[in-house]
Amino acid sequence: MAMKESGIEWVGSIPDTWDVIPNKYIMHKEKNLCEKWTGEDVMSLTMNGVIVRDLQNPTGKMPATFDGYQYIEDGDLLMCLFDIDVTPRCIGKVTHNGVTSPAYSNFKTHDNASRDYYYYYYLMVDNTKELLHLAKNLRHSFTEEQLGSLKVPMPPLTEQQVIADYLNEKCSKIDDIIAEANASVEEYKELKQAVIDNATMTGIHDSEMKYTDYVWFPEMPKSWNLVLASLLFREDVRPIDANDVSLSLSQVDGLIPTDDMSERSLKSATHDNWKHVIPDDLVLNRFKGHLGVFFASKYTGMVSFHYGVYHAIRDDVYAKYYEYLFHSTTYKNIFALKSNGITVGLQNLSNGNFYSVKILHPTLDEQIEIVKYLDKRTAEIDSLIAEKESLIKDLESYKKSLIYEVVTGKRRVV
């Protein structure tokens, strides 16, 4: 197979039977505005393609009216040519008639071009954001004129369609496997949550139960007690040490050492207001207590004053058990209810409201036993999740590579 240089930076070589022409000769923009919306399906460009929005259960921004939206038709190519740096997906093929935001650019391909071939071509370009360095303004936008002047590969029309059909089939199969793997990940996450819920709320043995007067759970093991958090934990602000490392708290990684710069937005010019942390302190992100961002520290260091730092005031408290307990569905719901108002979209769990929560308190031996069990079970589930996520990552990488090789003719499918 003889190849030649395309002259297109992100394409490289192409078959010598292909041409290279400006994009304006294979598609044109068309904007047909809807003066009065009469119930047409409202479409949106997403990572999953151009989809019909669920107007009964809307997510994201919702305009007051869809009057002034533009009509789009099955067979069109929809592009987002602004905010290229932050828009997850800038290209989608329209497979359903409807209306969409006039901010999008809608294109119709000419008779010499396969819509699906150029969808895959621009998907390849979007995967690596090749147009970003050409978008010079503050909004990182790209005009239709700029797009029209871009050079693109031009295989013979029959070959374009063969390539498109091949990629439709192959990518559909890859997407199905990815969807199954994503579903498995969600199932494993639900299983992990259920394991934590069951172990922290009822123990790991078939225990005799007793009734409680707490609305959140009507019963608990007979050997357990309900204790106010204020009788188990206290936040005493300890002075930080000159050698303290900066620690950061996240929902995914827990409490870990971090570069000071990553915390710059959370702190004052000095560390005067920061809090000293020692191993087994429970550290809370006050704005995300309802998400379970409440971890037992493994480190000595310091955290931003935005965090809560609690240490046990009784000897029969095993911090790791309470980390798991506060990750349970029940306690995340309790913390959501106990949090005050909304600050930048986040709820704030104050010391006073935390102290007023009634806490499940097994015997120390039971706390330790539950933690050993949960450490083992959650590690097993996390391993299964990691395997699926690795498979998804590999498949997504393979799909991108496949699209690149086929749309540029480096892998012939004709």
Residue bearing tokens 């012939």: 412
Do 23 and 114 reside in the same domain of the chain? yes
Beginning with the edge strand found earlier in the chain, give each strand of the sheet holding 105-109 in spatial order. 27-29, 105-109, 77-79, 91-93
Residue bearing tokens 């994009």: 23
Do 112 and 48 reside in the same domain of the chain? yes
In whole angstroms, what is the distance from residue 164 CA to residue 184 CA? 30
Do 251 and 357 reside in the same domain of the chain? yes
The CATH number assigned to the domain holding 54 equals: 3.90.220.20
pLDDT (tens, 9 = 90+) of the chain, 414 residues, equals 799 999 999 999 999 999 999 999 999 999 999 999 999 999 999 998 999 998 988 777 788 899 999 999 999 999 999 988 888 999 999 999 999 999 999 999 999 999 999 999 999 999 999 988 887 777 788 888 899 999 999 999 999 999 999 999 999 999 999 999 999 999 999 999 999 999 999 999 988 999 998 899 999 999 999 999 999 999 988 888 888 899 988 888 889 998 644 444 444 446 668 899 999 999 999 888 888 899 999 999 999 888 999 999 999 999 999 999 999 999 999 999 998 865 555 678 999 999 999 999 999 999 999 999 999 999 999 999 999 999 999 999 999 999 999 999 999 998
Q: How far is CA 55 from CA 39, 73, 92, 95, 158, in A?
A: 11, 20, 20, 19, 40
- Alpha carbon 26 to its chain's center: 35
The structural domain count of the chain equals 3
Radius of gyration of the chain (CA): 28
> Which pLDDT tens digit goes with each residue over 120-171?
999 999 999 998 888 777 778 888 889 999 999 999 999 999 999 999 999 9
23 belongs to a structural domain: yes
pTM of the predicted structure, to 2 decimals: 0.85
Do 28 and 142 reside in the same domain of the chain? yes
Q: Which of 337, 361, 385 is the last residue of a domain?
A: 361
Q: Which of 103, 129, 155 is the last residue of a domain?
A: 155
What range defines the domain where residue 55 resides? Answer: 3-155
Q: Which of 124, 140, 155 is the last residue of a domain?
A: 155
In whole angstroms, what is the distance from residue 276 CA to residue 147 CA? 55
Do 148 and 182 reside in the same domain of the chain? no
Do 34 and 138 reside in the same domain of the chain? yes
213 belongs to a structural domain: no
Do 279 and 344 reside in the same domain of the chain? yes
204 belongs to a structural domain: no
Do 165 and 284 reside in the same domain of the chain? no
246, 299 Cβ separation under 8 angstroms: no
Do 354 and 383 reside in the same domain of the chain? no
Do 18 and 64 reside in the same domain of the chain? yes
185 belongs to a structural domain: yes
